[in-house]
Structure formats: C-alpha cells, structure tokens
Structure 1
Amino acid sequence: MKINLNQLTQHLAGHLLPFYLISGDEPLLVQKASDQIREKAKASGYDERERFQVEAGFDWNELFQSANEMSLFSSRKTIEVRIPGKLTDHARKTLLELAERPNEDNLFIVVTGKLESSTTKSKWFLQLEKQIGFIQIWPLENKDFAPWIRQQFAMHNHTIEPEALDILADRVDGNLLAAHQEIEKLLLLTENPLINTELVIQAVGDSSRYDVFDLTNACLFGELPRAVKILNGLKAEGTEAPIILWALSRELRTLSMVLTRLSAGQPKRQVFQQNGVWKNREAAYEAAMSRCSISLINKLLTQAGRVDSTIKGLEKSDTWMELHALILGMCRTDANTRLIPALIS
C-alpha cells in the first residue's frame, strides 16, 4: 500500500506493517520517515536492531539468515536495509520473497534512492507494493515548505506565530537541512510552547544557499521576488556573472526550441524529451510557456547577448544591472511588473 509522507504519523497510530520501503532523494525527509517507523517499532517491542548496507558483492542470503534467526536479546527485531544504487535482479527477487513471507517477529525498513516510474509501475513492484508500506518521498515544493515547518513544531507540541513562520521560511528559503537545524535550535532556546516572532528574529541567521539552477527555476516559474533574491545571493557569494548568464541563456534557448516545435504541431511529450525537459522540470516549463511567447523569448535572447557584450567589455554598462533586467524580463507578468520598482530600489 502507498503511504503519503503526510499520512505517516496517522498510519503509525495504528498497527505496524511487517515491511516498509522508503524511496527518495531528500535525505532529511527520508531519515525522518525512517526514524518515525523505528520509534514506533521500538515502542511496540522491536527492541533489537540490525542494519545492512548494500554494496558491490553484497550477500543477499544474509538477509534471509537474519530474518530466520532468533533474536539473542529480544523476541522482536527491526532489520534495516539501505540500498544506495539500482535495484538489481537479485535485490528485487529477495525483497519480494521477504515481503511475501512476513515474520511477525521481524520488521523490515528498506531505504532506497529515488525510484523511477519505470520501476514503480513494473509488474514485480506492483506485486511488492501489495505486501508492504511504500513511502515515496519527493522534494517539497515552495508552497509546502511553510506547512512542513509548522508540522515539525507541532510534532514537538509547539506552535509558531504566522509572522514568525513567514520569517523563518524566508530565511532558510527551501533549504530543508537548514530549516531542521533552526527548528532544533529554537526548540532548545525556549520552553514556551509558542514560538514568537521576536525569538525567530533573534535566533535565526540567513541560511539560504543558492546555485544557478535555483535561479533558472525561479525564472521559469515567474517567481520574481525569489529570483531577485537568489541573484543577489549569488552575487554576494562570488558566483561569476558568465556562469549565471550561461544558465539563463540555456533555458531561453530550450524554451525557444520547445515553443517553436509545439507551434509546428509536434506532440508535447516528444518535444520535451527531445529537448531534455525531464519530468521534474515539466511544471516549470509549463509555467513559463503559459507566460512567454516565441517573440518574447527571442527578445530575451537578444537581451542576453547584450549582457554577454557587457561582460566582455564591448558595451559600457553594469553587468549585474543587466542580469537583473534579464530576469525581470523572464519573470514578467502583470503582477510582477507592479513589483519591479520596489525590487530594484
């Protein structure tokens, strides 16, 4: 059965399943899900814990041996298996066999990296999913970040003022590890169950750390305030302007090609695949395509050319002001246009 990460707490309030598989590339969320299941298992009498790290040459028979051995110190044990690489044929066969032969004295927690849809839709996996609890973890979207922070405080019987939540979310800006560290720090700083704005302002530093792909993603989604903040952060961190221009220009060229081929009647799925727009970026491109015409993209590419000339000293202008102008153009909407004076003042 599939278990949404947001429903895991509710699920664990009931009976444990004998086998859980957690997949995802967000280490903090994967770890927290593992910890929740482990804590519930310990409270349910699974006092012993065995851990296996699957590497090259791993002997899968060790899992069968562990599953069949009587515990030396407890009648019940948790068996944790971490599989950092791809699921081999031997791995698939072993997991399926263990799941189909549950032992009430054992609880399996298997952790893998992100599983592609070709795996999760395969016949063997669908058969496995019927026997286990499958928790598929995705990176949080921007809209889910503040609720996630609120939930973390709630799990420790704390609440956070709305303004304090906005400040905290803005300071850590999508960095889950930084958010986790700040939450832990705030919980240590006060015994008051209410986290107020004054405490957050005093305690939380600016933990945002950006790369050029954060910037291009914000531009594609038309998130102007975020894009300006990231560009300023990249400048402060010493990122070179040519690298930023390369990333922005690449997205503009891809957008131009995608829009051109779509206007010629080619299927969207085919166009995306041909131009390297993979599933995790489709939403960003859909957002950009809803705002941008081919004509606008071509104008922005011309503008990017002027930025390049400025960087090379062929035009007299401020490179960073030109980059600001370029992202303003990429993010342009009626709502964003009204924000421009405040953002550049």
Structure 2
Amino acid sequence: MRIYADKLADQLNRQLHSVYLLLGNEPLLIQESHSAIKAKAKTVGFEEHHRFTLDNSINWNEVYDCCQALSLFSARQIIELEIPEAGVNAAHSKELVALSASLHPDILLIIIGSKLTKAQENAKWFKTYNTQGCWVSCLTPDIQRLPQFVQARCNALGLRADIEARQMLAQWHEGNLFALSQSLEKLALLYPDGELTLVRLEESLSRHNHFTPFHWIDALLAGKAKRAQRILRQLEAESVEPVILIRTIQKELMQLLKLQLELKSAPAGQVFDKYRIWQSKRPLYNSALSRLSISAIQQGLQLLAQCELLSKTQYETSPWPTLHQLSLELCQPSIDLGVQVN
C-alpha cells in the first residue's frame, strides 16, 4: 500500500503496520515520518530499537537474532534497515526476501532509502514488503504542489496564509523544506493571530530557496523563461561553477537533437522508451520538442560552445551573460517549430 507522507498521521491513527518503507529524496519528510512511526510504536510497547545499514559490513545473523530473541519478558522490537545510495544489491535482495518470513507481531520493520527506480520497484524484495506493509512516499513536492504543501503545514500550525503569501513561501523555500518548516514556526511565534500576508513575510523572512542545475534544466525544457532566469540568477549568486551548468545543458541538448531526428520516423512513445525517459519527464520533453526545431537546438549548442570557450580561456570575461542569453533563447519557440509531439 502506498501513501504520501502528509497522509501518514491519519494512517497511523487507524492502524500500525508491521512494515514501513520510507522512500524518497526529501530528508525532512523521511525524518518526520520516521519520528511519527516510532512515537506510535512506543505507545503499543515497541521499546527496543536496532538499526542496520545494507552495506558490505552488515551481519545478517544479527538481524535474524533480533527476530528470534523472544520471551515472555522481552520488549517488542523495531528493526531499521537503511538502504545506501548504491541501492540494494542481489545478495541483500535475497536476504530481505528471506527476512520477510521471520517477521511476527512483536517486530516492526522500517526500511529507509532514497527514491526507487522503476526497476527497483519491480524487485522481488520490494514487492514482498509493499504487500505486507505501507510504502510512505517521501518525495520533495514540485513547484506546482508546493503551495498546497505550504497550506497543509500552515493549517497544522494554526496559520492562515492568503494565496499570495502561500506562493511567496513556496518560491522562497523551493528545494529547502527544512528552512520552510523553520520559517513557519518562526512566523507562528511572531504573529499569534496566525494571519500571514506578503507584508508580514517580507518583514520577517529572507529567501531560503535552494536550486540545483536540474531545476534549471526542467524550467528550460518546459519553456518557463522567467522561472529559468530566476533559478539561474540564484545559481550565479551561490557561485555555482558555470562548467557544471554547461555540461548539464549540453547533455540535454544532445538528447533533444537525437529525439528530434528519430521522431521523424518513429512515434514519440517508442522513441522515449528507447532513450529511457521517465514518464514524469516526458511532458517536459514534449514541450521542448514541440517548441524547438533541429536548427534551434544546433544554434543552442553553438552558443553553449562559445560559453564553454569563455569559461576556459577568457578568465576576465564572465560566461554568465552568455548562459542567460542561452536560457532565454531555449525558452522561445523557434520559427520552424520542428516535429510536433503529441
């Protein structure tokens, strides 16, 4: 069973499952979900706690011993298994499947890890535990869902934010939910009446948004010029190395060029499958491919080459203005719109 992290509290009020999978890329949501599960478990007698990491040093015998150490006087036990960034290898996958048969009502298993790929979701170990327990999705909300997330956090703290205030809170804290949580707690203390307006936010807060080159790429693919420029200015202010952005956008432009060429003779779904483009990313690529012709992509690559030359040879000339120019041009429709993608 899959639920989102903001629904976990309601689920825990109804039932405590024997297995929880806390998976995602948002540390705040994983931390809060973890704390909520442990707090609920403590109320029903889960007092002992064991934590293991699925690396080469894990001793599976110790894990199994936790499941077998039962007596009339033993406490109920929580076993935590942390999945490293490298993921679950074949040996660990086999052990996880075997471990599922050793679980019983006095064991609560919590598996913590980052976002899984489709292939990992199809693994036997994951399907086994997803059937037995609850998969809590701890993904960072995107910019479209972030105002709704802000609203939910405000409600929990008794804060009332109007539409403009919610939008500002979302923009100022995108990619940094820890800072958002701290800001809302600060606002709750500053304004006991709970009313949040633009004026109050500007008086009380500073920007805490955190962008990565991938936020910029997504904005470029979607053709959102203002957002792309805002992200690029933030990256420049944070002294991100231009070569990182150059390499990132170069990879995307080369992929767009290949896609445009192949779309002349094959349907979009087949081409996207060939290049392993995630379903969640396909609308962004659809937008870019419908907007940019082959010649426009080639011109973008030429401008990118100029930018790289500046960054490596002309140390007295900043490459940032060229990056800003590239950002604007990639968000504009080309005269020849190229292949239309449905």
Q: Structure 2 length normalisation: TM-score?
A: 0.81
Unaligned stretches of 5+ residues in structure 2: 335-342
Quick check: 1:83–1:110 contact (8 Å CA) kept in 2?
A: yes
Q: Which residue of 2 aligns with 1:19?
A: 19
Name which of structure 1's ranges 10-19 and 60-69 shifts more when overlaid on structure 2.
60-69
Name which of structure 1's ranges 88-97 and 158-167 shifts more when overlaid on structure 2.
88-97
Percent of aligned positions with the same letter in both sequences?
28
**Within 1, Cα distance between the matches of 2:306 and 2:262?**
26
Q: Which residue of 2 aligns with 1:118?
A: 119
Quick check: 2:19–2:129 contact (8 Å CA) kept in 1?
A: no
Structure 1 pair 269/185, CA: closer, same or farther in 2 (3 Å)? farther
Q: Which residue of 2 aligns with 1:231?
A: 232
**Within 1, Cα distance between the matches of 2:250 and 2:59?**
48
Q: Which residue of 1 aligns with 2:55?
A: 55
Structure 1 pair 96/244, CA: closer, same or farther in 2 (3 Å)? closer
The SS at the match of 1:22 is strand
> Within the alignment, does 1:129 sit opposite 2:130 as a pair?
yes
Structure 1 pair 194/271, CA: closer, same or farther in 2 (3 Å)? closer
Quick check: 2:174–2:211 contact (8 Å CA) kept in 1?
A: no
Post-superposition CA distance 1:139-182 (Å, at most 9, x none): 32221112112222323343333222222111123333332332
Q: Which residue of 2 aligns with 1:96?
A: 97
The SS at the match of 1:164 is helix
State the shift of 1:14 in Å: 0.2
State the shift of 1:113 in Å: 2.9
- For the aligned residue pairs, the C-alpha RMSD in angstroms reads 3.3
Post-superposition CA distance 1:24-61 (Å, at most 9, x none): 23322222221222222223343443333343221112
Name which of structure 1's ranges 112-121 and 14-23 shifts more when overlaid on structure 2.
112-121
Q: Which residue of 1 aligns with 2:163?
A: 162
**Within 2, Cα distance between the matches of 1:99 and 1:299?**
55
Name which of structure 1's ranges 63-72 and 11-20 shifts more when overlaid on structure 2.
63-72
Q: Which residue of 2 aligns with 1:257?
A: 258
The SS at the match of 1:51 is strand
Aligned length: 331
**Within 1, Cα distance between the matches of 2:220 and 2:61?**
50
Q: Which residue of 2 aligns with 1:8?
A: 8
Quick check: 1:20–1:133 contact (8 Å CA) kept in 2?
A: yes
**Within 1, Cα distance between the matches of 2:235 and 2:45?**
50
AA matched with 1:236 = A
State the shift of 1:125 in Å: 3.4
Quick check: 1:22–1:111 contact (8 Å CA) kept in 2?
A: yes
**Within 1, Cα distance between the matches of 2:202 and 2:22?**
36
Q: Which residue of 1 aligns with 2:64?
A: 64
Name which of structure 1's ranges 230-239 and 163-172 shifts more when overlaid on structure 2.
230-239
